[in-house]
Structure formats: C-alpha cells, structure tokens
Amino acid sequence: MSSPDYLKPFMELNRALGYGVDQGSVMNLIARRIVETLGIKGCLIKTKSSPAGSLELAAGYGLSELFLFARPETLARSICFQLPDQVRSFPTAQDFEEVAEQEAMMIEGIRAAAVAPVEARQETMGLVALFADAPREFHKDELDFAITLVTTGFLSVFLQWDLEKAVERERRYFKDFHEISSAIHSTLTVNKVLELVVSRLTESLEAKGSSIRLLDPKTQELYLAQSHGLSQEFLQKGTVNSERSINENMSGKVVIVEDVYTDPRLQYRPAVIQEGIRKILSVPLTVRKKVIGVLRIYSGERPSFTDQEIQFAQLIAQHCALAMDNAKLYQRMKYEYQQLLIDFGYEGSNEPIRS
C-alpha cells in the first residue's frame, strides 16, 4: 500500500487561496482532501464564533446533514461541541461509551474516531474530527497532516477577515474625517464640532470615551470643553493641571499611556483605574505651533494603538484646532466690525432698504 500524498492537498489549497476562493469553499476543500487523502469516512471542522463563543460548523465532508447538525443533549461529554485540550482517539465503537454523540455516530456508521484541537495565532481556535467506518488507529502523521491543513485554512480565513476589517476601518475613518471636515467648514459653532469629534473618535477607535480639554494660559489648567462616553464622576474628579497631567502634550508631543497602573504621568490614577480605563492616547491641539489644549482617547483592555489610529487621531486633532481658531478669528472680526460701526456713530436704522 502506497503512502498518502500529503503534499498535494497543500498545493491545491495554495492555488485556491491564490485564486481568491471564498472562505466556505476553502474549508470545504480542506475537509474533502483530508477524507480522500486518508481514505476515511468523513471529516468535521469547527471553529469558534468569537474568543468566548460557541463552536460553529466550518466544513464537513462524507457525513450526513443529520449528523453534522445534530446537537447532543449533554454537551459536557461531546467531542464535536467542546474544544479538546489534546488529541482524543476512539479506535473502536466500544470507546464511544462515554461520548455524547455515541448513538448518532453508530447510526452514521462510524466505528472509529479522533478529534484534535487546532491552534492559530497561539490560541485554540477550533477542532478537526476524523471518522472511519471500521475500527482503526489514527496515526500521528495522519493527525499532524489534518491539523496542519486545517490550521492553514484557519489562518487564510483570519487573514481575509483582517483585510476586510482593515478596509472597513479605512472607510469608517474617511467617512468620519469627511463628516468632521464638512462640519468645520459649514458652521462656526465650535461646540457642535467638538461634540462631533469626541463621539466619532470614540466610535471609530472602539474606545471607552474621549474628551477635549482646553488650556487656560493664566492658570495652566485644562478645562473640559467636550466629552463622550465618560462618567460624570470621572469628569468631575478634580482640577486637571497641564503640568501634572501627561505634561509632554504641552510641548506638542503625542503621548500613549500603555498601562495606567504603572505610568507615572497620570494626575488622577485611582479615578482613571476606577473608570475602567487601561490605555490612553493623548494628542495636543496645536494652532500656529502653540498648544491650546488636548484631545484624549480612553480605552479599556486592548492591543496597543496602531500607527494608523494615532495618525487618524492627530488629523482629527488638527482639524479640531482649526475649527476653534476659525471661530476665534470670526469672533474677533465681528467685534472689530462692531467697534468700527460705533466709531462712525452708526446706531442702526429701521428704514427699509430701497433699491
């Protein structure tokens, strides 16, 4: 009996991925090639729907729909609905006695089985189950082949998800940036612009909340101008001093607080921790090289802020500062114009305008 050709399925899978085959077809191809290469009855592949979610069917081959979609009453003893800690083998039908799917497997004509966890990105993301219609042992090389092929499929699916998420994120960033820019150019009501900035930034970066604080040059205090997603208790925690609260912002630097528990730059660490904040992205608001305030994005547990997220926040901060500068300029021009009218003794007129 010749040895199975383990290389051929990988070559076929790579071709399918190169052609951009959809995720479902990729996983179905994997299940089919495992069955054909190992000469077994069927294969079942399941993956987690989310980090803490239940297992969902990713692909199956050689098995009836009745078996694929059957759900045992006792999930605790299930080999198809629970992620295994290690490879589990059932060489004969007698070994099914403690398995929740025993009856369904016997009806399906299964007489031997093996189930193995599949890891991707250093996390158990699913399982692959192999089924035979006669008693048999599943050898290590067979299990390694099936696990590696499924892992390759999982990684390709995750990469596709990452790509789709990146594209969607880019679209969201552009949409939010366009909306904020349009607001800046269409209104001189600064409060509306600031409200839009903090709400959109919080949503776009999937953060806990955001705030904009403006600098009082006389007291060096940062007073709250606008916020979103933060509790009143946190916002009213006390006077925020620019020299004690992430003071590097005042020199025009973007500051990232990776861990609020250990970073010494926080003025009100207990209040920050109690609010559920774990990371902070703090961006200075600058007008003509002068810092007029700070834009801060507060997040819970999450990976580090990416360069793309930081650049997006900086871009929004620049436009936010521009909006405030435009409004300030408008108010100054309005005041000077009114003073000019007063100087010329103009007090207004009730006369209708004549053409």
Q: Is the pLDDT of residue 49 over 90?
A: no
Confidence band for 53, pLDDT divided at 50, 70 and 90: low
**Higher model confidence: residue 167 or residue 8?**
8
The residues near 194 (Cβ < 8 Å, ≥ 6 apart) are 212, 225, 226, 320, 323
**Higher model confidence: residue 184 or residue 288?**
288
**Measured in Å, how far apart are the chain's first and last C-alpha atoms?**
105
**Higher model confidence: residue 76 or residue 310?**
310
pLDDT at 57: 94
In three-state secondary structure terms, 4 is coil
DSSP code, position 76: G
pLDDT at 299: 95
| Residue at token pair 């001189």 | 188
Helix 190-204 / helix 140-186 crossing angle, nearest 10 deg:
180
pLDDT tens column, 254-289: 999 999 999 999 999 999 999 999 999 999 998 888
Q: Is 168 exposed, middle or buried (0-12, 13-18, 19+ CB in 10 A)?
A: exposed
pLDDT tens column, 188-239: 577 888 888 899 889 888 999 999 998 888 899 999 999 999 999 999 988 8
| Residue at token pair 């980090």 | 51
Q: What is the mean pLDDT of residues 10-33?
A: 87
pLDDT at 21: 78
> How distant, in Å, are the alpha carbons of 63, 129, 162, 219 from that of 45?
12, 6, 21, 64
Q: Which of 53-62, 85-94, 298-307, 317-326 has the lowest mean pLDDT?
A: 317-326
pLDDT at 352: 45
* Residue burial 32-45, b: 16+ Cβ < 10 Å; e: rest: bbbbebbebbbbbb
pLDDT at 339: 61
Q: What's the token pair of residue 147?
A: 């696990």
Q: What's the token pair of residue 129?
A: 């189950």
Q: Which CATH superfamily is domain 187-343 in?
A: GAF domain (3.30.450.40)
pLDDT at 351: 47
Rounded CA Rg of the chain: 31
DSSP codes of every residue in 255-322: EEES-TTT-TT-S-HHHHHHTT--EEEEEEEEETTEEEEEEEEEESS-SPPPHHHHHHHHHHHHHHHH
Q: Which of 179, 168, 213, 172 is nearest to 319 (CA)?
A: 179
Q: Give the whole-number percent of the chain exceeding pLDDT 90.
A: 48
Q: What's the token pair of residue 101?
A: 């799917």
**Higher model confidence: residue 326 or residue 274?**
274
- Computed over every residue of the chain, the mean pLDDT equals 85
Q: Where in the chain is CATH 3.30.450.40?
A: 7-162, 187-343
Q: Is the pLDDT of residue 349 over 50?
A: no
Q: Which of 12, 5, 11 is nearest to 38 (CA)?
A: 5
Q: Which CATH superfamily is domain 7-162 in?
A: GAF domain (3.30.450.40)
Q: Give the whole-number percent of the chain exceeding pLDDT 70.
A: 86
Confidence band for 296, pLDDT divided at 50, 70 and 90: very high
pLDDT tens column, 116-159: 999 877 788 899 999 999 999 999 999 999 999 999 888 877 77
**Higher model confidence: residue 246 or residue 335?**
246
**Higher model confidence: residue 330 or residue 326?**
326
pLDDT tens column, 81-105: 999 999 999 999 999 998 999 999 9
